Chain A
Amino acid sequence: MPEEITSQDLKERLALIETMIAEGRKQTQSWGWTFLLWGIAYYVAIAWASWGSSISLIGSHQLAWPVTMIAAVILTIAIGSRKRGHPATTKVGHAIGSVWMALGISLLLVLPALSISQRIDAHTFVAVVAAFLGCANGTSGFILRWKVQIASAAVWWIASVAACFGTDAQLMAVFLAAIFLCQILFGIYAMSLDARRRRPQGEVHA
């Protein structure tokens, strides 16, 4: 044995191991800004699609969604690569990142295809987008056991079902409210949590 050890010392070492393993596992990457960015992108696309045709400089409102979404993808990649990666990666972090990447690919494939084939209307569009976002938020929320994100998923699921009914005006109200709650508000909340988590922890010396 390296030195004379007391049972208190042994207990302290076991506690240290447990604390440090838990500390490592609770590391998550900071992606709150993407919720905010995409929330703003949805609002820009909706505003452009709704009122863009009356402003000649903005061009055809049919381009609103594809152009805004492509711009949001480029911005996400650009900002993501400029921000330094999280200093510790976990399997949970990889799993959640993969879910969101798969969501992005799915939406970027299926929505343009539906649009080109002209087999989509505003109600179907919102129902599909909301269902996908509910699925990704739900998966992340259940993995992280994060009630706020599970609540966000629930809002998207409700919006998805509500989009199948009602008038166009009601549809717009539901979609705008869901974006505000689940993208803008949730994004700001996640960013404020990230900022609080970055405070240094206790010290351990050799």
Chain B
Amino acid sequence: MTHGTSRRRWHPLTIAAGLLLAAAAVTGALLLARPGWLPPSAWLVLCAAAGFATSGSS
């Protein structure tokens, strides 16, 4: 893996976009299928976004 690829992978925008994709996936599944394990997954993803949003503290 090149240095440039690594930097793109770990760029804050890449991670934030990944979190948004995960949020969209879990939301779609929650609204369409509604299996019992999905609400905790939705909580996990939304709070991961909240935790990542605090990154200015590093």
The answer to whether A and B assemble together is no
Contacts from A to B (Cβ < 8 Å): none
Contacts from B to A (Cβ < 8 Å): none
